[in-house]
């Protein structure tokens, strides 16, 4: 009898061991770590939360350390992917110890707006000539003839213009200065995370810039579209390269990103397309062409596909700019994923 029980217990253990060994994919957690852009952070947080419900065996995490630090950690293989507001530059790649190939794909668009404080005025229009003149200090009052011509149906106040800029190093300043260099013939302050503004007042961070605008009637400053929506600040309708006045919207920004279809590294800082909002840039998701763990590589590709397709409604709700369908197709082809 004792022999029978021993045999039975041994048989049960063998069956259990065989079942566990035969079904590892149901129990193994694929851990994927990323880091980088603070602009993308809220979107990744929302995407990860939803994706983990649908795919509980994939554990995605993201460290908000800024694009520069994210690229550095990615090139040193300290994280599995990076989120960035710009592409890796030549110097970063040359000094990197990384020997495997890198894939850089657009993941979501970033739109910059000019938010303002003019009591009672909600639909301000600014031609390229006017907003260039504001940032260079050539126009200093809202009653200026040039602005009045942009807004024939609005009675503009006799009020000094206070331009509010980011005093701290910021990628919002980089994007804004890139656009101004291309759109404004008299722009002479260069391009960078910080630039020498001709006039105005400096503020630190998005909250500081928002507070400075809210506290000063006549103020105007630059923001990410999704941040301006959070602070409920009105944003100017701007004239694009095609000569049209276009209000900031996800749809108008998506038009600006259409040119990325032909070249996933293309700039869209002053798009020529009809109906395009004028200050839009793609932001990027960076991953390795090859991973030591094939399951991790496949999980990352599947996440990107889900994010660009099923996750676009989440991006829109958070006032990010989803990529146009044709661009999504090119991204998925680059990753070797069937659309």
Say which residue, 21 or 39, is predicted with more confidence. Answer: 39
Integer Cα distance of 109 and 82 in angstroms? 16
Distance CA 319, CA 227 (A): 9
Q: Which residue has the higher pLDDT, 21 or 325?
A: 325
Q: Could you please report the per-residue DSSP string of 75-117?
A: HTTSSSEEEESSPPPHHHHHT----S-EEEEEEEEEEEEEEE-
What DSSP state is assigned to residue 297? H
pLDDT at 16 over 70: no
Please report, for the chain, the start and end positions of each structural domain, with discontinuous segments joined by +.
29-109+282-335, 111-280
Average pLDDT, stretch 213-231? 94
Torsion sign (Cα): 138, 141, 143, 149 = positive
Alpha helices for 184-320 (secondary structure H): 205-215, 225-230, 250-256, 294-309, 312-317
Architecture of domain 29-109+282-335: 3-Layer(aba) Sandwich (3.40)
Q: What is the pTM of this model?
A: 0.87
Lowest pLDDT segment from 14-23, 119-128, 175-184: 14-23
Same fold, 29-109+282-335 and 111-280: yes
Tokens coding 21: 């060994």
Q: Average per-residue pLDDT in the chain?
A: 90
Strands of the sheet containing 125-126, edge to edge, are: 125-126, 237-239, 245-246
Per-residue pLDDT, averaged over 327-333, amounts to 96
pLDDT in tens, 262-290: 899 988 899 999 999 999 999 999 999 99
> pLDDT tens digits, residue range 80-114?
999 999 999 888 988 888 888 999 999 999 999 99
Query: Do residues 294 and 28 lie in contact, with contact meaning Cβ atoms separated by under 8 Å?
Result: no
CATH class of 111-280: alpha beta
């Amino acid at each position: 009898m004792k022999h029978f029980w021993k045999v039975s217990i041994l048989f049960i253990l063998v069956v259990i061991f065989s079942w566990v060994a035969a079904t590892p994919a149901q129990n193994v957690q694929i851990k994927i770590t990323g880091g980088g852009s603070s602009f993308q952070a809220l979107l990744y947080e929302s995407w990860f939360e939803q994706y983990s419900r649908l795919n509980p065996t994939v554990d995605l995490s993201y460290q908000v350390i800024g694009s520069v630090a994210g690229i550095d950690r990615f090139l040193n293989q300290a994280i599995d992917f990076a989120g960035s507001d710009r592409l890796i530059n030549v110097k970063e790649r040359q000094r990197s110890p990384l020997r495997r190939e890198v894939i850089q794909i657009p993941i979501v668009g970033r739109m910059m707006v000019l938010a303002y404080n003019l009591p009672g005025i909600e639909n301000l229009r600014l031609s390229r000539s006017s907003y260039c003149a504001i940032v260079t200090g050539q126009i200093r009052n809202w009653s200026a003839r040039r602005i009045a011509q942009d807004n024939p149906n609005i009675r503009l106040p006799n009020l000094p213009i206070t331009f509010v800029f980011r005093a701290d190093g910021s990628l919002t300043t980089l994007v804004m200065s890139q656009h101004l260099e291309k759109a404004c013939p008299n722009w002479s302050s260069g391009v960078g995370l910080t630039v020498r503004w001709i006039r105005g007042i400096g503020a630190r961070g998005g909250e500081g810039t928002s507070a400075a605008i809210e506290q000063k009637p006549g103020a105007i400053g630059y923001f990410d579209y999704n941040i301006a929506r959070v602070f409920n600040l009105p944003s100017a309708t701007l004239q694009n390269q095609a000569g049209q006045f276009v209000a900031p919207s996800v749809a108008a920004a998506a038009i600006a990103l259409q040119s990325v279809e032909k070249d996933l590294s293309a700039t869209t800082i002053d798009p020529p397309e009809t109906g395009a909002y004028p200050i839009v840039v793609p932001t990027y998701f960076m991953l390795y062409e090859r991973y030591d763990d094939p399951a991790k590589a496949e999980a990352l590709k599947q996440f990107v596909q889900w994010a660009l397709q099923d996750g676009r409604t989440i991006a829109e709700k958070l006032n990010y700019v989803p990529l146009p369908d044709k661009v999504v197709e090119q991204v998925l082809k680059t990753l070797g994923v069937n659309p």
